[in-house]
Structure 1
Amino acid sequence: MNIDVFGDADDPQGDVEAIVALVAAVQEAQHNERVEDFLSLFSKADPVWTTGHGHRLSGWDTIHDFTAQVLPGASKHGTATYTPVRILFIRPDVAAVNVHQVPVDQGGKPTGDPEGRPFYILAKTAGLWKIAAAQNTQVYQARG
């Protein structure tokens, strides 16, 4: 996996590995429709998440309620892979992460549906990286 990494981290290799693991945990929780596992990746300190369809969710309870409503059953027709492609350490305890999201069927084959480009702002507290803010954007495919 080739990830562009910029900025200064406290533990460059360890922090990158932890962030890659967090992105993998997002994929795993989404794929297996595990609401509590997904929510455990968010900071409890007023996180913000904007979904791929533009719904802005503010606060852990709001994100929880939305996720509990939409995640169960969401992978019935497929899921997605999540690959971190760029990490910018804004400061040693804050990172901006660009992710490449590819919709796949249950067998792991790309579906051809629009890809996503999640963008996470992560904060490191007590040695753990958590999602403080996130936005998912679908990739627009111009029709020619």
Structure 2
Amino acid sequence: MDDRTRAVETEAIEQVVAEIQYAQRNELPDRFAALFRHDAIWTTGHGKRLIGRDEIAEFTRKVPPGSSKHGLGTYEVVHILFVRPDVAAVKVRQRYVTPDGELIESEGEGTPLHVMSKEDGRWVLTASQNTQVFAE
């Protein structure tokens, strides 16, 4: 993959991660679920295994409204490994901030890993695992 293509694909992947942040912050479960491939696998930060977009959507709809009261999630892409031009492993740093953007240290961090694939010209989440960071 040449540098120009890598830059374009990196930006597209970062946009998906930005959409995750938007959907989570605004409690939009269907918009969040639409980011996943139809047969995707997701393991939540608490270890719940979900298979398929329908199951992911059902779980996400059950998250109580206002669950972001402990802070707003921020999602920062920290590394992308292009396994192939249409498959990428994407490491994300997940942190929580106040509505004013101040870091809430007591909430800790998450370290999601998303395996993404490019389907019909669009990057989608294919396999995702979130893990809480206990120590660095």
TM-score (norm 2): 0.92
Name the CA distance, whole Å, in 2 between partners of 1:140 and 1:124. Answer: 32
Q: Give the alignment partner of residue 123 of structure 1, picking from 112, 117, 131.
A: 117
In structure 2, runs of 5+ residues without a counterpart are none
* RMSD, matched Cα: 1.7
- Say yes or no: does 1:106 pair with 2:99: yes
More helix by share: 2
Q: Give the alignment partner of residue 92 of structure 1, picking from 52, 61, 85.
A: 85
- Residue number in structure 2 paired with 1:39: 33
More strand by share: 2
Q: Which has the higher contact order (CA 8 A, sep 6+)?
A: 1
TM-score (norm 1): 0.87
User: What amino acid is aligned across from residue 94 of structure 1 in structure 2?
Assistant: V
- Residue number in structure 2 paired with 1:17: 11
In the alignment of these two chains, the number of paired residues is: 134
* 1:130-141 equivalent positions in 2, closer than 5 A: 130-141=124-135
Q: Give the alignment partner of residue 76 of structure 1, picking from 69, 77, 92.
A: 69
Name the CA distance, whole Å, in 2 between partners of 1:41 and 1:57. Answer: 14
Please say if residues 122 and 132 of structure 1, whose CA atoms lie closer than 8 Å, have aligned partners that are also in contact: yes
Q: Which runs of 4+ in 1 moved over 4 A?
A: none
Q: Give the alignment partner of residue 29 of structure 1, picking from 13, 17, 23.
A: 23
CA positional deviation for 1:86: 0.4
Percent of paired sites with the same residue:
47
CA positional deviation for 1:73: 2.1
